[in-house]
Chain A
Amino acid sequence: NAGVTQTPKFHILKIGQSMTLQCTQDMNHNYMYWYRQDPGMGLKLIYYSVGAGITDKGEVPNGYNVSRSTTEDFPLRLELAAPSQTSVYFCASSPQGAGELFFGEGSRLTVL
């Protein structure tokens, strides 16, 4: 199993541009999460999903959107990128909700 795969690993965006961070998992987990991690800080939950077709906001959802059309995929869309969205983004999945989360390697995004 590849686990949780995130693409791209690195990306530079200009202010006002939009992009989608891709996340896919091959473990058939129902629960999927997007976190952001700023330097020297913990992880902040952006959005999560408890199954295909169901998504909900986390702590810091403003400026982001998600969709969950399949169990495997949980893309994160950034609309009108701002410098405050410069961060490392982690996607995670779990078979049982808020328990052992399986994280991807992260996507480092810089907005200039």
Chain B
Amino acid sequence: GESVGLHLPTLSVQEGDNSIINCAYSNSASDYFIWYKQESGKGPQFIIDIRSNMDKRQGQRVTVLLNKTVKHLSLQIAATQPGDSAVYFCAEKGSGGSNYKLTFGKGTLLTVNP
């Protein structure tokens, strides 16, 4: 079945450093991936997405990399700020019957130290 997992449950960085959050997925048929940010006590918020026909996509201070060969996804945050402290989830969309649904990973807690 589908599964989305995280390599590291927690990540602590210094303010101003770059952060890299990793995610592994097992469904090679997944064609769309999303990163969400969840601040304490709030619902998840969309950060950035990438389709399977791309290797890289950049947003404002964030970059998502997709390696389909090893089924690996990463989120890079440049110049990490205290406001970036949150849990980050990767999610994948399957194909066919799973086309309307996202499967979420367990999440990585990012802590930014001032």
Contact = CB atoms under 8 A, between A and B. Distances in A.
A100 B100 contact: no
A15 B105 CA distance: 30
Interface stretch (B12-20, B37-45, B61-69, B78-86): B37-45
A35 B98 CA distance: 15
A103 to B, nearest CB: 3
Nearest to B102: A98
Interface in B70-112: 89, 93, 98-107
Contact of A42 (B42, B46, B89): B89
B34 A42 contact: no
Contacts of A56: 100
Given A42-B107, A45-B103, 7 more contacts: A31-B100, A41-B107, A43-B89, A99-B32, A99-B34, A99-B49, A106-B42
A104 B101 contact: no
A90 B44 contact: yes
A92 interface: yes
B45 A48 contact: no
A106 B40 CA distance: 11
Contacts of A48: 100-101
A79 interface: no
Contacts, number: 61
Q: Contact residue range for chain B?
A: 20 to 34
Nearest to B100: A97
Contacts of A50: 100
Contact of A40 (B36, B43, B103, B106): B106
Interface in A12-52: 31, 33, 35, 40-45, 48, 50
Contacts of B44: 43, 90, 101, 103
Given A98-B32, A98-B93, A103 B99 contact: no
A31 B42 CA distance: 21
Interface in A71-93: 90, 92
A58 interface: yes
B34 A45 contact: no
A98 B99 contact: yes
Cβ-closest 10 pairs across A and B: A103-B43, A42-B104, A98-B93, A43-B104, A100-B46, A97-B100, A42-B106, A98-B102, A103-B44, A42-B105
